[in-house]
Amino acid sequence: VSFVHNGTKVALFLCCQKNGSNDGEFVYHTGEQNYLDFGRIYTWKGEKMVSFWKTNQSNMINGTDGSSFHPFLTKEERLNVFTPDLCRSIHMRFEKEVELKGIPAYRFTPPRDTLASGKNNPENEGFCVTPKKCLDDGVLDVSVCRKGAPVVVSFPHFHLGDEKYAQAIDGISPVHEHHQTFLDLNPTMGVPVRAMKRAQFNIHLERVSGFPLTRNLNNTIFPILFLNESVVIDDASAARIQKLLLIVTLVSRFPLILVAMGVILLLVSIILAIRFYQNKPSAKKDTSYVPVSAKVDDQDEKNGTFIGMTPVDKS
């Protein structure tokens, strides 16, 4: 950014080596040993940690690059994402359930404490390299990883930041829906179906002793660039994911389907058995017969008399 004042050209260089080149080489975990590690960054530019900040905790490269996450996400999870633009990792929390192109998703977004000052969030104490110049909530001084350029990063319109930064600039009015960064992730597969990256690059303005051009400057954070990057899953990929989700649903519910089928077959068998016994003909006992071999008291017993036959006397 350059301007001319009283014939003197003044130039401010905000970013260095950000002309469309890649962010460096990433090495990722495959999740073979633990599915929770899938997509997690192992090294960036050959290093397991950065060296810009004061503490080891602040220099840790946590989480993924935001392009993929482990499957079976839960609403209670804290998702970590390493952002080269910020030279650090940030975390995101579940906000709400959404749906895009028939695919259910969880929306995760950075909470207020992500860029909170060290006094309000002790986890962020290490991001203030110069203790006497620590900034308040919602902004991050990244000059340490931008070759000393006075670059301060925030969310657009100082969203989630201290009110004094927005009040110091005319026309600044943060709106959550318009200025938030978020990821819409399918919880079963851990893949993004929609992502919105919104950031604001600012310069830290302050008076400089011996530099007359700055004598009328107030000590403030001045917005320069508004970054708005978005991605939405295409229709073909959405259709493939829907098919995969259907397969996963059927497989996960297969034991329940088997149990239900078993119960149904058992009930059918019981009903058929009851009907069979109800329709089976029953034999009636006839008690009206008289034995043919009944013996007459005054008749002499003859040879050959047996049940069912009475010999005839021929004499």
Supply the pLDDT for residue 252: 72
Beta pairing class for 151-154 and 2-5? unpaired
Residue 2 reports pLDDT greater than 50: no
**Of 314 and 41, more confident:** 41
Q: Where are the domains of the chain?
A: 2-233
Supply the pLDDT for residue 8: 46
Supply the pLDDT for residue 150: 86
Residue 5's pLDDT band (cuts 50, 70, 90): very low
Q: Would you state the structure tokens that stand for residue 124, as one six-digit string?
A: 């962020």
Supply the pLDDT for residue 10: 45
Residue 306's pLDDT band (cuts 50, 70, 90): very low
Which of 34-43, 168-177, 199-208, 210-219 is predicted least confidently?
210-219
Count Cα atoms within 13 angstroms, Cβ side, for 27: 8
Supply the pLDDT for residue 41: 94
Residue 281 reports pLDDT greater than 80: no
**Of 90 and 218, more confident:** 90
Residue 274 reports pLDDT greater than 90: no
- For the entire predicted model, the pTM comes to 0.75
| Euclidean distance between CA atoms 225 and 156, whole angstroms | 9
Beta pairing class for 88-100 and 79-83? antiparallel
